[in-house]
Amino acid sequence: MIHIENLTKRYGGLTAVDDISFTVRPGTVTGFLGPNGAGKSTALRMLTGLTPPTSGTATIGGRRYADLPNPAASVGVMLDATAQHPGRTGREVLRLGAMTIGVPDTRVEELLDRVGITADEARRRVRNYSLGMRQRLGLAGALLGTPRVLVLDEPANGLDPQGIHWMRELLREFASEGGTVLLSSHLLGEVAQTADELVIIGRGSIVAQGPTEELVRAGGTVVRAEDAGTLGAALAAADIVTRESGAGLVAEAMPEEVGRVARDAGVALSELRTTGAEGLEATFLELTADTARDKAVA
Amino acid sequence: MTTLNDRPAHRDAGSAELPQVAGVPFHRLLRVEVRKCVDTRAGRWLLVVIAAATVLVLAATLVWGELADLEYGAMFLTATLPLLVLLPVLGIMTATAEWAHRTGLATFAYEPRRGRVVLAKALAAVVLAACLVAVAAAASAVTLLVDTVVHDSSPDWSTDGAAVGGVLLTLAIYTVQGVGFGLLLRSTPLAIVATFVIPTVWTFAGSLVEWMRDVQPWLDLGLVTEPLTEGRMTGEDWTHLATSVAVWLLLPAAVGTWRVLRGEVK
């Protein structure tokens, strides 16, 4: 549904987005992950026709966003929840959107209800909204036109844990009904549980992409045994690289492989699991390490 | 609209096709842009202040002026004096709003054909300006009636059509000029300063510098609109007006629009 091909944006000598390509399929949630300043927002602005790319193409359903008639009726976009006129009420912001898209005012009330903004809060000016409420308002604005595609930049920013859980459910439901979701985040934990697919970007370039499941497993296997010495030796003999970690031994192999080696060596295991999100976190930091700002510190 | 729920319109998860929808008609964009000018306190107050200024000018002439022999047309022209100063501000604020609060991100995502949004903004400013002119016209009528009651005379409704037409055209020019400067500079204070200071400096420079004295009648918007508002335009006056409008209205508006069309919305 979303197709990005060799997309590049240069500002003078700075390459903000460097030749990125990926596809987002209908029925999936794709997380666009990267540290601050990695080029996520620039890429999403190019996708939605707000920033002209230096080269490459970005299409949604086979067409450039700027060529879509009444695009908000097909693609829901929220690029910056803070970019709202502070003097408008929440309801007024949605009314303007509804008027442009051509949906009735009743749709505004439905959406306010859907994103959990009460009638009382909707009457207040956006100036008085917390970041979390602005995110909910922005999401309501994206959903106004009953789109089949959602493009959201850092939608979980400023949401409390309940809010994050709520948004996760909403996006999962949207995707399970055939919708396409692309959301960006700089926090791995936020997207790992929501996204089916991940695209990891660091300093403008894609450093890894694939199913979340696979990237999680790529983090390695945590294995523990009372007889750690024998286990370590057996793994080494099987050419499996290991390292010590607080949780136990981390083997760079799949759990089934590690289990087989342990069985053959006759070692009883007390723990065997993929490193999960923490492993992905390590992978994420490692993949973006030479691209992150705090290189020296990391 | 039949699809009011949040579910994607079609459930065929594998389809990469988007539903066929019609584009956003221009009248909707225009309505939205007019509404954006009146749905915040700042916007509403600007309109109230402008309307109040015309009423105040009329009240002042009624109290202190010699109105006994004033006909309707002259009264109306008096009422539009504050509009000449304030309508450019209305135009500016219509144009700059999207950049002051970065709402352009949403506006141009809803309608990526940015030229249509720019046109809707310019027209919205003209529509609101027309409403304010209507207020001035009505207030002038009331003032005339009050005046005739006070002086126990009969109201003189005669109007100089050419002068009124000239003032209306001048007001439209000033309003759109404000939109142009707003689009070009994207900042309300900057654009206000530019709209008022540049012509003043220009006129002042014209009185000092020899060669500028010759181009002044062609390029001084205040000077060229003088015969227009007095309803005595001649052939040469029209060419003077055209050149001034080209330089002070079309040029900034064109460059500003070009920036909007080509630039990045952040």
Query: Comparing A13-27, B64-78, B110-124, B137-151, which segment has the lowest mean pLDDT?
Result: B64-78
Q: What is the mean pLDDT of chain A?
A: 90
| CB–CB contact B36 A96 (8 Å) | yes
Of chain B, the percentage scoring pLDDT greater than 70 comes to 92
Q: What pLDDT score was predicted for residue A244? A: 81
> Which pairs from A255-263 meet CB under 8 Å and 24+ separation?
A255/A221, A255/A223, A257/A221, A258/A221, A258/A223, A261/A234, A261/A235, A262/A223, A262/A225, A262/A231, A262/A234
| CB–CB contact A101 B24 (8 Å) | yes
pLDDT of residue A296 exceeding 80, the answer is: no
- The full 3-state SS of chain A, as one line of letters, equals CEEEEEEEEEECCEEEEEEEEEEECCCCEEEEECCCCCCHHHHHHHHCCCCCCCEEEEEECCECHHHCCCHHHCEEEECCCCCCCCCCEHHHHHHHHHHHHCCCHHHHHHHHHHCCCCHHHHCCEHHHCCHHHHHHHHHHHHHCCCCCEEEECCCCCCCCHHHHHHHHHHHHHHHHCCCEEEEEECCHHHHHCCCCEEEEEECCEEEEEEEHHHHHHCCCEEEEECCHHHHHHHHHHCCCCEEEECCEEEECCCHHHHHHHHHHHCCCEEEEEECHHHHHHHHHHHHHHCCCCCCCCC
| CB–CB contact A177 B101 (8 Å) | no
The strand pair at A149-152 and A75-78 is best described as parallel
Q: What is the pLDDT of residues A131-184, one digit of tens each?
A: 999 999 999 999 999 999 999 999 999 999 999 999 999 999 999 999 999 999
Q: Which residue of A has its CA nearest to B109?
A: A48
Q: What is the mean pLDDT of chain B?
A: 87
Q: What pLDDT score was predicted for residue A180? A: 96
Q: ipTM of this complex > 0.90?
A: no
Q: Can you list the alpha helix ranges (DSSP code H) found in B152-160?
A: none
Looking at the complex, does the CB of residue B3 fall below 8 Å from at least one CB of chain A? yes
| CB–CB contact A52 B264 (8 Å) | yes
Q: What is the pLDDT of residues A102-141, one digit of tens each?
A: 999 999 999 999 999 999 999 999 999 999 999 999 999 9
Chain B nearest-CA distance from A218, in A, is 28
Name chain B contacts of A147, Cβ cutoff 8 Å. Answer: 8
Name chain B contacts of A60, Cβ cutoff 8 Å. Answer: 18
Looking at the complex, does the CB of residue B63 fall below 8 Å from at least one CB of chain A? no
Q: Residue A180 and residue A153: Cα distance in Å, rounded?
A: 14
Q: How much is the average pLDDT of A265-292?
A: 76
| Residue A120 neighbours by CB under 8 Å, 6+ apart | none
CB A135 within 8 A of CB A162: no
Work out the pLDDT band at B46, boundaries 50, 70, 90: very high
Q: What is the pLDDT of residues B202-216, one digit of tens each?
A: 888 877 887 777 788
| CB–CB contact A71 B110 (8 Å) | yes
Q: What pLDDT score was predicted for residue A187? A: 85
The strand pair at A2-11 and A55-60 is best described as antiparallel
How many cross-chain Cβ pairs, A to B, lie less than 8 Å apart?
A: 144
First-to-last alpha carbon distance for chain A, in angstroms, is: 37
Q: What pLDDT score was predicted for residue A218? A: 76
pLDDT of residue B182 exceeding 90, the answer is: yes
pLDDT of residue A249 exceeding 70, the answer is: yes
Q: How much is the average pLDDT of B209-228?
A: 82
Q: What is the pLDDT of residues A228-243, one digit of tens each?
A: 888 888 888 888 888 8
Q: What pLDDT score was predicted for residue B209? A: 81
Q: What pLDDT score was predicted for residue A193? A: 85
Work out the pLDDT band at B112, boundaries 50, 70, 90: very high
pLDDT of residue A219 exceeding 90, the answer is: no
Which pair of structure tokens corresponds to residue B208?
């000092």
Work out the pLDDT band at A293, boundaries 50, 70, 90: low
pLDDT of residue B15 exceeding 70, the answer is: no
Q: What pLDDT score was predicted for residue A65? A: 96
| CB–CB contact B21 A70 (8 Å) | yes
pLDDT of residue B19 exceeding 90, the answer is: no
| CB–CB contact A178 B15 (8 Å) | yes
Better-predicted residue by pLDDT, A294 or A253: A253
Q: Which amino acid is at B266?
A: K
Q: How far is C-alpha A82 from the geometric centre of its chain's CA atoms?
A: 19
Q: How much is the average pLDDT of B245-253?
A: 92
Q: What pLDDT score was predicted for residue A207? A: 87
Work out the pLDDT band at A192, boundaries 50, 70, 90: confident
Chain A nearest-CA distance from B81, in A, is 30
Looking at the complex, does the CB of residue B196 fall below 8 Å from at least one CB of chain A? no
The strand pair at A269-274 and A221-225 is best described as antiparallel
Q: What pLDDT score was predicted for residue B66? A: 66
Work out the pLDDT band at B3, boundaries 50, 70, 90: very low
Query: Comparing A138-147, B183-192, B207-216, B240-249, which segment has the lowest mean pLDDT?
Result: B207-216
Q: How much is the average pLDDT of B5-32?
A: 71
Q: Residue A52 and residue A38: Cα distance in Å, rounded?
A: 18
pLDDT of residue B12 exceeding 50, the answer is: no
| CB–CB contact B11 A178 (8 Å) | yes
Of chain B, the percentage scoring pLDDT greater than 90 comes to 56
Of B13, B28, B104, Cβ closest to residue A100: B28
Chain A nearest-CA distance from B266, in A, is 8
Q: What pLDDT score was predicted for residue B18? A: 80
Tokens 């040469």 correspond to: B236
Name chain A contacts of B40, Cβ cutoff 8 Å. Answer: 85, 87-88
Q: What is the pTM of this model?
A: 0.87
| CB–CB contact B4 A1 (8 Å) | no
| CB–CB contact A146 B4 (8 Å) | yes
Chain A nearest-CA distance from B79, in A, is 31
Q: How much is the average pLDDT of B221-238?
A: 87
Q: How much is the average pLDDT of A264-269?
A: 89
pLDDT of residue A188 exceeding 90, the answer is: no
Q: Residue A171 and residue A147: Cα distance in Å, rounded?
A: 13
| CB–CB contact B103 A107 (8 Å) | no
Chain B nearest-CA distance from A169, in A, is 13
pLDDT of residue A297 exceeding 70, the answer is: no
Q: What pLDDT score was predicted for residue A103? A: 95
pLDDT of residue B16 exceeding 60, the answer is: no
Q: Which of A1, A85, A149 to mutate to test the interface with B (most CBs of B within 10 A)?
A: A85
| CB–CB contact A80 B105 (8 Å) | yes
Better-predicted residue by pLDDT, A173 or B1: A173
Q: What pLDDT score was predicted for residue B7? A: 47
Q: How much is the average pLDDT of B216-243?
A: 87
Work out the pLDDT band at B67, boundaries 50, 70, 90: low
